[in-house]
């Protein structure tokens, strides 16, 4: 897909035509060049700060509205497991249940319809927005989606 090769400058020029916008978005703090940083450009410390201010509160809110008792208070370990202790924040992580690897999520919809619907409709868009990443596209099979957090049957999938 051509989009993957677009440079930010070209993006700006085409922004009027391309209503769905350009990725990655500059969601981070202002960098040395005076421009806000993309997620990919951020340092580990900047990423931690961004997780704390942008990702955790929004994700906590979402999980809480879904199951108030179970997710009354969540922290980094919700997604990263032992990460805060070991310093390993790599995603996707074996801390979360492995998914089927099926593109259309058939087994997930069958076994866990509620969480699959919630994640597809709300968690994935929320996370993609917070990270300034393009949401997963079923055509390109790339972008932020289920497999940005979960592993497939035999490891990372869809470019994660």
In the complex, which residues of this chain contact ligand HEC (CB under 6 A)? 44, 47-48, 51-52, 55-56, 59, 76, 78-80, 89-91, 96-97, 99, 105, 108, 112, 115-116, 119-120, 123-124, 127, 131, 144-146, 148-150
Closest distance to ligand HEC from the beta carbon of 120 (Å): 4
Q: Which residues contact 142 (CB under 8 A, 6 or more apart)?
A: 4, 134, 136, 158, 159
In whole angstroms, give the CA distance from residue 58 to residue 40: 20
In whole angstroms, give the CA distance from residue 56 to residue 54: 6
Closest distance to ligand HEC from the beta carbon of 17 (Å): 27
Closest distance to ligand HEC from the beta carbon of 13 (Å): 27
In whole angstroms, give the CA distance from residue 79 to residue 95: 8
Nearer to ligand HEC, 10 or 141 (CB): 141
Nearer to ligand HEC, 17 or 44 (CB): 44
Closest distance to ligand HEC from the beta carbon of 9 (Å): 24
Nearer to ligand HEC, 12 or 114 (CB): 114
Q: Which residues contact 47 (CB under 8 A, 6 or more apart)?
A: 39, 89
The token pair at 61 is: 């809110």
């Amino acid at each position: 897909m051509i989009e993957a090769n677009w440079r930010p400058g070209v993006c700006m020029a085409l922004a009027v035509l391309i209503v769905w916008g350009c990725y990655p978005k500059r969601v981070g703090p202002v960098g040395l060049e005076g421009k806000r940083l993309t997620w990919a450009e951020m340092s580990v410390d900047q990423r931690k700060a961004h997780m704390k201010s942008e990702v955790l509160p929004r994700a906590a809110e979402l999980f809480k509205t879904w199951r108030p008792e179970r997710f009354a208070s969540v922290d980094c370990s919700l997604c990263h497991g032992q990460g805060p202790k070991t310093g390993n924040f790599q995603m996707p992580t074996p801390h979360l249940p492995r998914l089927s690897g099926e593109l259309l999520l058939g087994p997930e919809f069958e076994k866990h319809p509620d969480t699959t619907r919630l994640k597809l409709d709300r968690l994935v868009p929320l996370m993609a927005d917070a990270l300034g990443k393009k949401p997963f596209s079923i055509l390109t099979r790339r972008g932020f989606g289920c497999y940005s957090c979960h592993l497939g049957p035999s490891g990372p999938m869809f470019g994660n």
